[in-house]
């Protein structure tokens, strides 16, 4: 069995995890460039936890400026087996109100200005994204949310938009017509890259507002969003602490194979692979490239 290591990527409003014991900020080099920040590594009840603020401390990176490949590569290099993405979102579903958490199970990717894969010319691979989150990990998060008496919804579709501007009324209504539940700017290509890195991934979407579609909400009010952000961040810290306390210390095999996603994904013959690219893939794909 593989020892479990919990990774947490903190979104807007979540820049640290005070519950971490013996924690220190550690700079981890990645061949994919600079990650958003150093990682904060510590323990909660004996479980190793690796925390990374997605936007950097002080919120230095806009959604399209984040080096998603470096962030996921760093998590892999730290031994993360299960990765929880804590993300601020707008709601496209009236039942999912500001202050609620949504445990997303599907994504629609509408981003267009980001590198979306570790693979490419010289080493081609295709992984399945039919089920983009690990149901086993979601089950543990749901149990933790219930234990902490948080209001949450299990299941929902996350529309990932480019940003940094919020959506127009027409766009908001379009995404609602697609049966999307929440809208955000950061979980793609993050979820795709986590799958390529064979890390079990799940999203805790923290609702801050009703986007621009709601007749009683009007345009997105930044001040109101920031207030809800702070409240959500406090609840997210409680949720992560409870999850870490209860997560099995031995990594459980993912029911949908998230942790073996590269098993049959590599298409390029070994003799045709680009040595420079495969060297950069040492952490992400070392398990299959070593064969």
> Which domains does the chain show, CATH number per domain?
6-289 (3.40.50.1580)
pLDDT value of position 196: 98
Binding positions for phosphate? 12, 54-55, 87-88, 186
* Cβ-contact 150, 207 below 8 angstroms: no
3-class state of residue 119 by DSSP? coil
Confidence of residue 217 (pLDDT cuts 50, 70, 90): low
Binding positions? 12, 54-55, 87-88, 185-186, 209-211
pLDDT value of position 115: 98
Please write the tens of the pLDDT for every residue from 111-160: 999 999 999 999 999 999 999 999 999 999 999 999 999 999 999 999 99
Instruction: Report residue 203: phi and psi, to 5°.
Output: -115, 130
pLDDT value of position 227: 81
Residue 219, pLDDT > 60, answer no
Please write the tens of the pLDDT for every residue from 72-118: 999 999 999 999 999 999 999 999 999 999 999 999 999 999 999 99
Q: Which residues are catalytic?
A: 209, 211
Q: Which of 11-15, 56-60, 116-120, 282-286 has the lowest mean pLDDT?
A: 11-15
Confidence of residue 215 (pLDDT cuts 50, 70, 90): confident
Residue 36, pLDDT > 80, answer yes
pLDDT value of position 291: 83
Please write the tens of the pLDDT for every residue from 181-199: 999 999 999 999 999 999 9
Question: In this prediction, what percent of the chain has a pLDDT beyond 70?
Answer: 98
Binding positions for substrate? 185, 209-211
Dihedral sign computed on CA atoms, order 112, 118, 121, 126: negative
Dist CA 190 CA 184 (whole Å): 12
pTM score, whole prediction: 0.96
Dist CA 74 CA 76 (whole Å): 5
Residue 218, pLDDT > 80, answer no
Higher-confidence position of 226 and 74: 74
pLDDT value of position 290: 87
Dist CA 222 CA 213 (whole Å): 15
User: Which of 198, 184, 176, 54 is closest to 109 using CA atoms?
Assistant: 184
């Amino acid at each position: 069995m593989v020892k479990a290591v919990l990774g947490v990527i903190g979104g807007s409003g979540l820049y640290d995890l005070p519950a971490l014991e013996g924690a220190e900020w550690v700079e981890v080099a990645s061949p994919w460039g600079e990650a958003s920040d150093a990682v904060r590594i510590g323990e909660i009840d004996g479980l190793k936890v690796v925390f990374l603020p997605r936007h950097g401390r002080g919120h230095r990176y806009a959604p399209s400026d984040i080096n998603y490949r470096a962030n996921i590569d760093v998590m892999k290099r730290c031994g993360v087996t299960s990765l929880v993405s804590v993300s601020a979102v707008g709601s496209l579903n009236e039942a999912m109100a500001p202050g609620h958490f949504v445990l997303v199970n599907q994504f629609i990717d509408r981003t267009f200005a980001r590198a979306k894969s570790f693979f490419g010319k010289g080493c081609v691979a295709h992984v399945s994204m039919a089920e983009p989150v690990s149901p086993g990990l979601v089950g543990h998060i749901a149990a933790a949310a219930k234990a902490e008496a948080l209001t949450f919804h299990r299941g929902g579709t996350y529309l990932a938009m480019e940003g940094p501007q919020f959506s127009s009324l027409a766009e908001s209504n379009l995404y609602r017509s697609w049966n999307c539940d929440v809208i955000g700017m950061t979980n793609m290509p993050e979820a795709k890259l986590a799958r390529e890195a064979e890390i079990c991934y799940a999203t805790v979407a923290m609702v801050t507002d009703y986007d621009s579609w709601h007749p009683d909400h009007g345009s997105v009010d930044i001040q109101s969003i920031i207030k809800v952000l702070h409240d959500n961040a406090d609840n997210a810290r409680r949720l992560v602490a409870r999850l870490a306390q209860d997560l099995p210390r031995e990594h459980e095999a993912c029911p949908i194979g998230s942790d073996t996603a590269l098993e049959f994904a590599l298409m390029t013959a070994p003799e045709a692979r680009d040595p420079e690219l495969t060297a950069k893939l040492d952490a992400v794909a070392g398990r299959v490239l070593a064969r």
